[in-house]
Every structure is written in structure tokens, then in C-alpha cells.
Amino acid sequence: MTVDTAPPRMRIVRHPLKYRLLEVRRVTRVTPGTVRVTLGGAALEGFCEQAPTDHVKLCFARPGEELPVEPVVENDTWMDAPVEPITRDYTVRHYRRAEQELDIDMVLHGTGVGSGWAAAAEPGMRLGVFGPRGSEEIPFVHDWYLLAAEETALPALGRWLEMLPAGVKVLAFAEVPGPEDEQTFETATDLRMTWLHRGAAPAGSTDLLERAVRAAEFPEGMGFAWVAGEATTLKPIRRHLRRERGLGKEQVDVDGYWKRGVENHDHHEDDHEHA
């Protein structure tokens, strides 16, 4: 029997803000449209990661320069500086402490500093890694989880599936171009995974995730929904979960990872809603 209690709140655990210059050790293809960059170096000493959505700011070199501009940190705070680093947010796919290695899965979407860098990445190149600033910790006490994502959020979806407790019910929906873009994730959860193919439609232009979430039959008990991807397409999903499904604020984490037509979209700006 499920006991109906108030949903637990998400807690942000802060980590010391640190910039690290790392070297590319390996570049592999996860799928035709996603590159896994393995970064390594002794600078990874003390690196913190603990929650599914943990992410860093990758710092890229300016055109014509070899190394990224280093962010200025004073009293554990990122300060304004005359020359700012060029940064983009990416999920920590794997961190292997013993090997001093970090895997970042980067989508090759066409235009953009991050996508362009990933397309050209090769061993020996150097990249700045800033953070993680903190971890969004959600006590894993829910009866079920709904996870919905497109490619940029598949690294985090993979972490969710790896970290959630054995046997917990998970409904997962993932939008990708086609079958060749599907990924396999290790999980001990009771997972029902649905892949949605958008074909030739541009990323961030479909309502495939929304329709799948609307049609889903949610399990009994207290659930938690995490949805991430293109910001505009997520808004109706958030509304549906909160208003039509009646999930409380603490039960929904919707995070716009990027926005069509916007360079370096700030996910804290208007799209990230949770407790």
C-alpha cells in the first residue's frame, strides 16, 4: 500500500566553484549525432558529482586562440571580468575518479561553438571545465518517475536510469531523429522506455514528447517528473503535468536545455521550474 505524504523537496547541494583545464583523451561516437569526449587530467582531483542532472560549463577557446579564457573566481563566486570565457552547459555523463576521466556527450546539431568544437574534437585538444556549481538532489523516495528528454538531455536521462533505485517504476520517453540514434542505458529500475522518432523534422520543432506524456498512464502513488530539452516545446508539458495531472511543484522539474534560434540559452532565465 502506498502512504500518501507530502512530496519531498529538491535540495541544491553546493560544490566549491573550480575551473579545470583538461585534455581530450578519446573521442568516440555514441550515435551518428552524438560525440563522446573523454577529458582527463590530474586537475580532476576533488571533482564533485552526485545527482542525475549534474552539469558543468565547458569553456571554449576564442577563435584563433589555443586555450580558453579562465573564469575569474573570488570567494567562491564567478566574477565579471573584462574578457569573459565562452561557455556552454553540458552534463557530466560519467566521472571515473580512479582514471581521472570525465565523459561528456555532445550533440552535433550544426551551428554553435559547442557543436562545432565537438565535431572537430581530437585527442590532445584542451578544454576548460567549470563546475559543477551544485547538484540538484531529489530524495529517491517516489513510487514512480517520469523521464522525458531529447538528445541533449539523454546524458542526464542515462544518469537518472543508472542512479534510481532498483525496482522503482520508470516511464521514459526519448525523442531522437531515428532508430540509429537510440541508446542503451544500464538500469536496475522497472523501466518502460519509449523512443520517439522525429525523422527529418528539425530538433525542437515537434510535439512528440508532449503527445507521449499526455497519452501515458501514470502508475499509482506519488510520482516525480523530470523533463528536459528544447525550452519552447517543454512549456505545454509542464502545464499538462501541473494543471491536468495535478502534480505538485515539488514533483515536477522541467528544464529548457536550449532554445531554438537562441545562442547560449540561459536555462535559469525562465524555463527551469522545480521546487
Ligand X SMILES: Cc1cc2nc3c(=O)[nH]c(=O)nc-3n(C[C@H](O)[C@H](O)[C@H](O)COP(=O)(O)OP(=O)(O)OC[C@H]3O[C@@H](n4cnc5c(N)ncnc54)[C@H](O)[C@@H]3O)c2cc1C
55 touching ligand X, by CB under 6 A: yes
262 touching ligand X, by CB under 6 A: yes
57 forms bridges with which residues in the sheet? 89, 130
What's the rounded Cα separation, in Å, for the pair 251 and 223?
A: 7
Cβ at position 61, least distance to ligand X in Å: 13
Name the residue with the smallest CB distance to ligand X: 112
The 8 Å CB, 24+ separation contacts for 79-85 are 85/57, 85/59, 85/60, 85/128, 85/130
Q: Which helix (H) or strand (E) holds 231?
A: helix 231-239
Place of cell 565535431: 119
Q: Binding residue for ligand X (CB under 6 A) from 68, 71, 85, 114?
A: 114
Q: Toward ligand X, which CB reaches closer, 33 or 223?
A: 33
What's the rounded Cα separation, in Å, for the pair 261 and 148?
A: 22
**Side chain identity, residue 82:** P
Q: Binding residue for ligand X (CB under 6 A) from 111, 122, 184, 217?
A: 111
Stretch that binds ligand X, among 136-144, 184-192, 219-227, 252-260 (CB under 6 A): 252-260
Q: Give the total of residues touching ligand X (CB under 6 A).
A: 28
91 touching ligand X, by CB under 6 A: yes
Q: Binding residue for ligand X (CB under 6 A) from 112, 134, 178, 236?
A: 112
260 touching ligand X, by CB under 6 A: yes
Stretch that binds ligand X, among 89-97, 141-149, 168-176, 245-253 (CB under 6 A): 89-97
Task: Tell me if 223 sits within 8 A of 142, measured CB to CB.
Answer: yes
- b/e string for 81-114 if b means 16 or more Cβ within 10 A? eeeebbbbbbbbbbbeeeebbbbbbbbbbeebbb
C-alpha cell at 267: 536555462
* Torsion over CA: 170, 176, 179, 182 (sign): negative
203 touching ligand X, by CB under 6 A: yes
Stretch that binds ligand X, among 68-76, 108-116, 131-139, 242-250 (CB under 6 A): 108-116
Q: Binding residue for ligand X (CB under 6 A) from 113, 125, 191, 275?
A: 113
The three-state secondary structure class of 120 is helix
- List residues near ligand X by CB under 6 A: 55, 88-91, 105-107, 109, 111-115, 152, 155, 203-204, 257-265, 267
